[in-house]
Amino acid sequence: MRGDDSKMKTDKIMVNGTSSLNGGAKNKQSKFEAELELNHLSLRRRSLSILQVNMGKLCNQACHHCHVDAGPKRTEIMEKNTVDRLVELLEKSEGIETVDLTGGAPEMNPWFRYFVEKIRAMKIEVIDRCNLTVLLEPGQEDTAEFLRDHLVQVVSSLPCYSLDNVDKQRGNGVFIKSIEALQLLNDLGYGKTETGLRLDLVYNPVGASLPPSQGPLEAEYKERLYTDFGIEFNQLYTITNMPINRFRHLLERTGQLESYSHLLQNSFNQTAAEEIMCRDLVSIGWDGKIYDCDFNQMLELPIRCTAKTIFDIEHLSELEKNAIHFEDHCFGCTAGEGSSCSGALVKSDQEMVL
Ligand code: SF4
Ligand code: SF4
């Protein structure tokens, strides 16, 4: 829960600083690190339970808010030798419970199915961060069935239950296709409690505001999607837009970068900070580089240890207990209810809008 104390502390550290959350200068304490210090928080990585893997920047969409800058023309894609190295490391690892596959659209990587089969053979859970529309693309007609057959959890972005807001953020025609893909997944048993096939949705604000409270919004989504389209899903995750890459450029163009940066900093939540996702995961880039999270990967902020790629380590446990590379964009994870790849980190009744 965000307290007034933490807000006052945040205001203090902003007196001499700019409000731009662009990563901060090297060899200088970032405002985020100063905030942690003020709150007596020393956050290092714990044991790894999640391995996040970015399979490449190729995507069938090119959304305005995309922090990956993914799109149909991107050529960066994970190759088989990198996939095989990850399989070797997973085979030696005991703590990894989940491999979380992201992109771009991970399903468009030619080694996606090979990788999923290998991971599932080790009885490790797989999450597919699926943009939904990819399931309707030529050549992907049987992807939904493949996911079902391998009990892959599907997590999909749907920034609203209304056509206008979704198309505004993700492109014309995306809402109708997303609904069609959700219905396809439901027909296969996804989103229904009795099947064990998890289908979770992700909400992120269309504009420069914090997401509303996760619980009430989930209830609203469930009602509207079921009433209007007969769609069922398991859980809604609310995620804060990170002021980096494409979304950052949008904020700059519309003159909102400074106010959005202030909003994130002034909404620092100590409880959320203690649960930031980088304490339990590392994120692997399409080229095998290791990062603290997907956001640091997009900013190319290296991990704070000697090993820089999966080819430099013998065991994933070498990455545990390490310091984390924090910069000022990290305020995006600790604002309000907090934000992670699994949604809000704490519950709050407060809703803050810019
Ligand atoms: S937000 Fe997702 S669906 Fe949109 S361009 Fe980025 S990776 Fe693709
Ligand atoms: S942006 Fe990454 S490194 Fe920073 S707090 Fe969030 S998860 Fe951790």
User: Is residue 206 very low, low, confident or very high in pLDDT (cuts 50, 70, 90)?
Assistant: confident
Instruction: Please work out whether the CB of residue 272 comes within 6 Å of at least one atom of ligand 2.
Output: no
Bridge partners (DSSP) of residue 283 are 52, 291
Please give the span between the terminal C-alpha atoms of the chain, in angstroms, as a whole number. 19
**Residue 332, in any domain of the structure:** no
pLDDT of residue 24: 41
Least confident of 112-126, 150-164, 220-234: 150-164
Question: Which ligand ends up closest to the CA of 345?
Answer: 2
Ligand 2 contact via 276 beta carbon (within 6 Å): yes
2: in domain: no
For ligand 1, which residues put their CB under 6 angstroms from it? 59, 61-63, 66, 68, 70-71, 103-105, 131
In this structure, is residue 101 part of a structural domain?
A: yes
- 270 in a structural domain: no
How far apart CA 194 and CA 192 sit, in angstroms, is: 6
Judged against a pLDDT cut of 70, whether residue 233 lies above it is answered with yes
Q: Specify the pLDDT at position 348.
A: 54
pTM of the model: 0.88
- Compute how many other C-beta atoms are within 10 angstroms of the C-beta atom of residue 13: 19
Each residue of 41-71: pLDDT tens digit? Answer: 999 999 999 999 999 999 998 877 677 788 9
Which residue, by CA, sits nearest to atom 5 of ligand 1? Answer: 62
Ligand 2 mean position to 332 CA, how many Å?
A: 8
Angle between helices 163-170 and 174-187 (to 10 degrees): 110
Q: What is the pLDDT of residues 110-144, one digit of tens each?
A: 999 999 999 999 999 999 999 999 999 999 999 99
Query: Within a domain: residue 138?
Result: yes
Closest residue to atom 1 of ligand 1, CA basis: 66
Share of the chain above pLDDT 90, in %: 74
Determine, yes or no, domain membership for 84: yes
User: Which residue range is the domain that position 51 belongs to?
Assistant: 47-241+277-316
State what percent of residues in the chain have pLDDT above 70. Answer: 90
pLDDT at 347: 65
Is 17 among the domain residues?
no
Considering its fold, how many domains does the chain have in total? 1
The CATH number of the domain where 62 resides is what?
Answer: 3.20.20.70
Torsion of CA 268, 271, 277, 280, to 10 degrees: 150
In a domain, 322, yes or no: no
Which residue has the least CA distance to atom 5 on ligand 2? 330
∠ CA 322-323-328, nearest 5°, is 145
